[in-house]
Amino acid sequence: MKTWWLRLSLLILVFLAIGPRHSARAGVAVVDRGTLTGKVMCGYQGWFNCEGDGADRGWFHWTKDRGRLEPGNAKIDLWPDVSELGPDERFPTGFKHADGRVAEVFSSFKEATVLRHFQWLHDYGIDGVFLQRFAVDVQSPRGLRHNNIVLNHCRRGAEQFGRAYAVMYDLSGLRSNRISQVIADWRTLRHELRVTDDAAYLRHRGRPLVAVWGVGFSDDRDYTLAECLELVEFLKRDGCSVMLGVPTYWRELKNDALPDPALHELLKLADVVSPWTVGRYRSPAEVARHQVNLLQPDLAWCAEAKLDYLPVVFPGFSWHYLHGGGLDLIPRLQGRFLWSQFIAAKRAGAEMVYVAMFDEVDEGTAIFKCTNDVPVADQTKFVTYDGLPSDFYLKLTGAAGKLFRNEMPVQETLPELP
């Protein structure tokens, strides 16, 4: 009895420490967290650490190795705009700008920084985020601590600024027979930390929405479709709606998808299907072909199976320092590439959209504020926003929200942005 009471007391303390402490600020517009329909949601990595940020993970996701972020050791292709961050949120690097100033970056471990990101979501009319939770990362004590701290920041940010959030498990890198660890982690989040009790937690079809990304890919993953089925069945029994992140060619069971009909049977147990299309097309013309060849047939398949469909769009792509290949591999075309995808999804009949990603400078897909005043170094170059304002892609994504709420007409040309 004494042990039970001690455990309950500790859980209450944890919930009070981690749960949101503030309701929405006065005057803040609050999105409808009761449905994914009509939403423009972003993926939120929240995985950046810097030496001295308190997470004890050193430089994480900024660098190729654990050394300092400096010329020759960058793993990012875009440079974040930190001009609005406070002095305690900025971390100096070994890079310098053209005028000699030391170049700085941020840490996702800092609450003020994450709260500011949610304020940007609010200010630019973007509905919310799917917070990435890597199944591999939460298996280490430091990784788990960082992920839980960032989750805490997101809970507060979503509540204070009237946004929605949901957990997205990324199974990438998970070894076989480890699905039980994902199940245990969700039990902790839901029944001990009680995340789905948050007013800001996104619900869909009347239940809390949980996303599982990495189902059915043909890239030799250790975990199997049977293990994914076990996870989906558990989440459904736990009273959740489930969104599955699947390959681009999931319907045809080819190319990036496993050629296994069991994938289709698994999808029919879910509530939302979201095919990963980053890098699958490179121009507005290819986007138009994608609409005809994949988006429209996908939506028809899902309608027959009574599934909702969440297409993925991305502003451009560059992972020169992460995996090689050309810098600025898929150009942004000053927003025309991203807007063409919003229009294609809308014309195909989609009622919601997922923007990859809010903060991923690693693969050059970020839409948050990035700078054109990038550091200067002989051996390390960076992609810019082509002279556009640092908030251009936030504004463009906010305009897409109006598009999917039917507050503006469908137009091929870029909308006039405030």
Kindly report, residue by residue over 197-251, the tens digit of the pLDDT: 999 999 999 999 999 999 999 999 999 999 999 999 999 999 999 999 999 999 9
- Strands 40-44 and 353-355, by their bridges, are parallel
Percent of the chain with pLDDT over 90: 92
The angle, 0 to 180 degrees and rounded to 10, between the axes of the packed helices 141-160 and 111-123 is: 40
Minimum mean pLDDT range among 4-13, 175-184, 223-232, 402-411: 4-13
Q: Quick one: pLDDT at residue 26?
A: 74
In three state form, how does the secondary structure of the chain look? CHHHHHHHHHHHHHHHHHCCCCCCCCCCCCCCCCCCCCCEEEEECCCCECCCCCCCCCCECCECCCCCCCCCCECCCCCECCCCCCHHHCEEEEEECCCCCEEEECCCCCHHHHHHHHHHHHHCCCCEEEEEEECCHHHCHHHHHHHHHHHHHHHHHHHHCCCEEEEEEECCCCCCCCHHHHHHHHHHHHHHCCHHHCCCECEECCEEEEEEECCCECCCCCCCHHHHHHHHHHHHHCCCEEEEEECCCCCCCCCCECCCCHHHHHHCCCCEEEECCCCCCCCHHHHHHHHHHHHHHHHHHHHHCCCEECCEECCCECCHHHHCCCCCCECCHHHHHHHHHHHHHHHHCCCCEEECCCCCCCCCCCCCCECCCCCCECCECCCCCCCCCCCHHHHHHHHHHHHHCCCCCCCCCCCCCC
Is residue 63's pLDDT more than 70?
A: yes
- Of residues 3 and 394, more confidently modeled: 394
Q: Quick one: pLDDT at residue 160?
A: 98
Task: Give the mean model confidence (pLDDT) for residues 105-134.
Answer: 98
Q: Quick one: pLDDT at residue 197?
A: 98
Q: Quick one: pLDDT at residue 23?
A: 64
- What is the rounded CA–CA span in Å between residue 91 and residue 198? 32
Is residue 2's pLDDT more than 50?
A: no
pTM of the model: 0.94
Task: Give the mean model confidence (pLDDT) for residues 120-137.
Answer: 98
Q: Quick one: pLDDT at residue 34?
A: 98
- What is the rounded CA–CA span in Å between residue 178 and residue 205? 29
Return the structure tokens found at 182. 């994902």
Q: In terms of C-beta distances under 8 Å and separation of at least 24 residues, what long-range contacts does 3-11 make, across chains too?
A: 11/192
Is residue 109's pLDDT more than 90?
A: yes
The angle, 0 to 180 degrees and rounded to 10, between the axes of the packed helices 225-237 and 179-187 is: 20
Return the structure tokens found at 323. 């995996």
Burial 389-416 (b: 16+ CB within 10 A, else e): ebbbbbbbbbbbbebbeeeeeeeeeebe
